[in-house]
Structure 1
Amino acid sequence: MAMSGGGDKTTFYISVLLCVFAGSFQYGYNISSVNGPAVNIKDDLYNHFESGKAVYEIGEDGSVLENPVPTCPNISSVADCAACAEEIACTSDFLLEADRALHITREDQYSYAVALFTVGGIVGSFSVKPVVSHFGRKKGQLVNMIISLGASILFVGAKHYNSHICLVVARILIGLFSGLATGICPMYIIEMSAQEDRGWIGVLNQLLITIGILVAQIVALSSTMRESWGIYMALTGVPAIIWIALMGLSYESPRYLYLEKNDATNAARVLKKVRGTDDVEDELDEMKAEHEKSLSEENMSIGALFTSKDVRWQLISIAAMMIAQQMSGINAVFFYTNKIFESAGFTNETSTKISVLIGALNVAMTFVSMSLMEKAGRRSLMIYGYGIMVVFCVLLTVALKSLHVGTWVSYVSILCVMGYIVGFAIGPGPVPWIWATEFFKQSARAAGASMGCVICWVCTFIVGKFFPIAEAKLGPYVFIFFGMVSLFAFLYCLKITPETKGKSFEEIQVYFAKLNGVEISDEEMKLADNRDE
């Protein structure tokens, strides 16, 4: 990976690492943490439910047990079961006919609690713009850590009190936290980075997300942690506590201080601190030029993004990349691995361990992406990544339709899943989050990042809600759709998106000004023509 020279940059690394550890890592942990203890949570919270009239107990087959109408023709009430010594054997056959329409299975209740994570994420994404504009990047993180701690307390309460309400509120809060984190973290680390470091530093966001997912999978291997699921899920608060304890070691974004707070003095002081050198005049001159240009502009609202010609293609590009990131099926592929493993004859325990190994592959390939980001460039990694995904989507479809040929085909399917993940991890996973900050000028950056997050979370919700339905109807052919989305993204990156490697924010804006048909000077036109093809 390419790292800039200069003096001691310890302060910079501490600020960036604290941000992604407390934000991106937590987000990844909470994506996966709900899966491991799912059975334990349902056993503790959803063996009873309220229909609105009374509390009913769920039997082993999912039927209602309390005050049931017996199906046995030899008795008239549940109490009579004792006479024939069949009470234990036949109790689960009793159904409450009067309340059948109000029957809510524990799976529905649990799915409802799980889905609220995404709802919270959408709300959090919409909140990125007001939070970072009002509080700033650093204090915005502080607000988010407080939300995380609130969720952690409620997770413990949900287990201790067997409270469905505590779990629901906790899932909403941790979703709100995650929505904010997906906007604040990439923005902060990109703004803190020198031009030559933005690529590999930007990948840290995705890297810590994948590590968070992997850690949650590893911890869930312990049956003790699954049984103590309140503590397991509350571990998300540990990074928040660490961030709050060490927040004095991190600094506010100098670009935010200069361009939004008009505080050139503190911006220069922080810039010298995080660069480890007093030689920061070039960066300050760039900020000054951007600041002078933006004096006549107000910070854009999310609504203004849709009407401003200045950011038209930036918004279209980020929307296209965020949609493609989720609609290309990465979450669906992870979901489908369990069926692939089952078809290969693996036990549940072995399948879980293989899932952890695939999570480790995702982490490893994100490290590879980090090392290549400033060498190959963002655009190139997106093109190669989506190209790989197209190929493996087709191969995976063929393999899944050919499972009847022999057990060996199942292993080929697993290799296809791994190839697909390699393609996603090197470019389509990390790059859109980097572009969401790089593509927008300062006055539109908060709104642009917020909109990018909203689109990502909405697409995540759509995939989670409708993929099982599509998979049931289309079977393996659903991956042809994912391949088509990946092909669209491949062509879009090939024809439209610029290479931002080694480009200043000003140079990137000049390229988009040309694309948007906005008038630019001859000097700015030369900058646009320097775009790497």
Structure 2
Amino acid sequence: MSCICPLSWYYFLNKGLAMSHTLTLLLDKPVLIAAIFIMGIGGTFQYGFNISVMTSPSIFIKELVNATCIQRYGKSLELWEVNLIWSIVVSIFSIGGLLGSLCAGRLASAYGRKKCLQLNNLIAIVAAVMMMLSKTAMSFEMIMVARLLYGINAGVGLTVHTTYMVECCPKRLRGMVGVSVATFVSIGKLFGQLLGISELLGTEKLWPWLLGSCGVAALLQLATLPLLPESPRYLLLDQGDRQGCEKAIRKLWGNKDHSVEVDEMLGEHASMKGVRNHTVLQLIMDRSVRWQLLTVLVTFSTLQWCGINAVYLYSFEVFQTAGIPTYQLRHAALGTGLCELSTSLACFMLVESSGRRLLLYRGYFCMTVTLGLLTLTLYLQTVVSWMPYCSMVLIFIFIFFFCSGPAGVTAPLPGEIFNQSFRSASFTIAFTLNWLGLFLLGLLFPLIVENLDYFCFLIFLVFCFLTGLFVWYNVPETKNRTIMEITAEYVKMHPTKESSDREMTMPKSSDINACAATKL
């Protein structure tokens, strides 16, 4: 026992020192910090905000739908008709997101990351104006169109924001900066919940302003984007502009010597000589990156089917059973949003010392156990008086494990495991899966709940467990490794003739004086 304690202290001391060193590296790069906030506010913030913001004004929008039909046709709609229109209003956001994701990679490659986001913000501003005018115009169709435009904006923003941040940070900060993508999703969800309470914009008079507030975030990003350089990797690997790349790196990372990072990019550039950006079909057909593609397919599919949305849905029922009054459920839901945000911030601090692979499989295995216990406590909540309190605790524990692992690590993963020629196509596939999952979940989840009730968590339990196993056996660690080293690790774990041939023709890091990656 006397030996274990010093070892434990030594372990946590090393973790603390590593985290402190990584944080110091980030604080030395003020423009990179500014890029995190500028990209986030008009990127994944919009995605998170639009997911959570529709809960509060739902009753007012349904009233508008009915009032519009009475005014136009002199007929009051039946309840099922109102609910059908409402479901279209909610789900059309996912359709827009899917359209945005499908075209985001091509637009980002053709026009650059910055210009693509500038055009994207104009879409959000148009949608915000339509939302604010919808009640005055007595037109629920304007809300539908605006939700579709918001979806396109979120689909493009989710893809390009992630791509830009992965390409703009040094490998020692890649995990921390990648987690910031998920952190802004959490911030967006929290703002949607917060602004939607009745004391702020969640009222019959102000709800159009609530739905139009996305325009403010778009205006902020549009005004501040000119302060940032274009992605260094895009400039070098897509445009062949080494001078522009070095200038962008100096602006983002400071005026220190960054020759090692530039050499690593040049090594990747040399391996891509004469290779154009691959299309989605070419990526799917290329056998040499089959396991990288499988990694994206599995992790991004499970991101929506891990049960996080089901947990949020049942949180209202659990809180109510635990004795929280109905009129305070919105305020109680803020607790889940704060839990998600605080955990995401903790993951932001710890990801560089823990490693991505560990956070992924540990998160999914712990979520598996938590879902099993949550199913049991929900089954027993009418039998044992104090069981709803256990369910409340398990809800927060589940959110903690989700946000401390899969939520933060998954989004930037395609940018870490694919080289530049595959990167746009991989992000397109990844976020297309995300939007398809969100749409199908919205379509099928009510039916699943109606038939299985809280036993629906067992379906999500299976997804979490199988994904944890897949990551454990098939995904290498990416922390502090270059793309060539990660590719070589995939080849080592899953050797194929095509990937072995490609590995033999790739230039080695030593040939371009790049330093080998080291572990913290």
- Please report the TM-score for the alignment, with normalisation by the length of structure 2: 0.89
Deviation (angstroms), 1:409: 1.1
- For residues 461 and 42 of structure 1, what CA distance do their matches in structure 2 show? 21
Q: Which residue, 150, 158, 163 being the options, matches 1:187?
A: 163
CA shift, 1:313, in A, is: 1.1
Which residue pairs with 1:521 in the alignment? Answer: 504
- Percent identical pairs in the alignment equals 28
Distance 2:393 2:275 in 1: 52
- For 1:441, the equivalent position in structure 2 comes to 419
Q: How far apart are 1:256 and its partner, in Å?
A: 0.2
State how 1:434-473 maps to structure 2 within 5 Å: 434-473=412-451
Equivalent residue letter for 2:139: S
Provide the alpha-carbon RMSD of the alignment.
2.3
1:338 maps to 2:316: yes
Q: How does 1:95-244 map to 2 (within 5 A)?
A: 105-223=81-199, 225-226=201-202, 227=204, 228-244=206-222
8 Å CA contact 1:302, 1:447 repeated in 2: yes
Count of matched residue positions in the alignment of Structure 1 and Structure 2: 487
Contact 2:97 2:435 in 1 (8 A): yes
Amino acid of the residue matched to residue 504 of structure 2?
Answer: S
Q: How does 1:475-486 map to 2 (within 5 A)?
A: 475-486=453-464
* Counterpart contact for 1:145–1:240, Cα < 8 Å: yes
Query: Which is worse superposed, 167-176 or 455-464?
Result: 455-464
Secondary structure, aligned partner of 2:276:
coil
User: Which of these residues, 72, 75, 95, is aligned with residue 56 of structure 1?
Assistant: 75
User: Who is 2:238 aligned against?
Assistant: 260
Pick from 485, 495, 499 the counterpart of residue 507 of structure 1. 485
Q: CA deviation at 1:130?
A: 1.2
Query: Among residues 268, 279, 286, which one is paired with 1:308 in the alignment?
Result: 286
Give the secondary structure class of the aligned counterpart of 2:406.
coil
* 8 Å Cα contact 1:7-1:275 kept in structure 2: no
2:49 partner letter = Y
The 1:188/1:47 distance shift into structure 2, 3 A limit, reads same
Unaligned runs of 5+ in 1: 64-103
1:44 CA displacement: 2.2
2:23–2:349 CA contact under 8 A, matched in 1: no
- Asked whether the 8 Å contact 2:36–2:165 carries over to 1, the reply is yes
Q: Which residue of 2 aligns with 1:21?
A: 41
Q: Does 1:9 align with 2:49?
A: no
Structure whose alpha-carbon radius of gyration is higher: 1
Query: Is the 1:154–1:166 contact (alpha carbons within 8 Å) kept by the matching residues of 2?
Result: yes
1:19 is matched by which residue type in structure 2? M
Tell me what 2:9 maps to.
none
Whole-angstrom CA distance in 2 between matches of 1:54 and 1:36? 28
CA contact (8 A) 2:68 2:139 kept: no
Letter in 2 for 1:115: S
Distance 1:246 1:224 in 2: 27
CA distance in 2, matches of 1:319, 1:466: 20
Task: For 2:207 and 2:288, locate their aligned partners in 1 and report how far apart those are by CA, in whole Å.
Answer: 49
Structure 2 stretches of 5 or more lacking a match?
A: 1-18
* 1:372 lines up with 2:350 in the alignment: yes
- Matched AA of 2:156: L
Secondary structure of the structure 2 residue equivalent to 1:232: helix
Q: Which structure features the higher share of helix residues?
A: 2
Q: Is the 8 A contact 1:332 1:463 kept in 2?
A: no
CA distance in 2 between partners of 1:167 and 1:157 (Å): 9
Bigger shift: 9-18 or 310-319? Answer: 9-18
- The Cα of 1:507 is off from its aligned counterpart by 1.3
Residue 105 of structure 1, CA deviation: 2.0
Q: CA deviation at 1:50?
A: 8.0
Alignment of 1:283-298 (within 5 A): 283-298=261-276
- The 1-side partners of 2:408 and 2:136 are apart by 38
Does the aligned pair in 1 maintain the 2:62–2:82 contact within 8 Å? yes
CA apart distance, 1:435:
0.7
1:155–1:170 contact (8 Å) kept in structure 2: yes
Q: How far 1:224 sits from its partner (Å)?
A: 5.5
**Deviation by residue 1:240-287 (Cα, 9 ceiling, x = unmatched):** 111111222111100000000111111111111211024111111111
Say whether the 8 Å CA contact 2:44–2:157 is kept in structure 1.
yes
Secondary structure of 2:475's match?
coil
- Matching of residues 312-331 of structure 1 within 5 Å: 312-331=290-309
Q: Distance in 2 between matches of 1:494 and 1:367?
A: 25
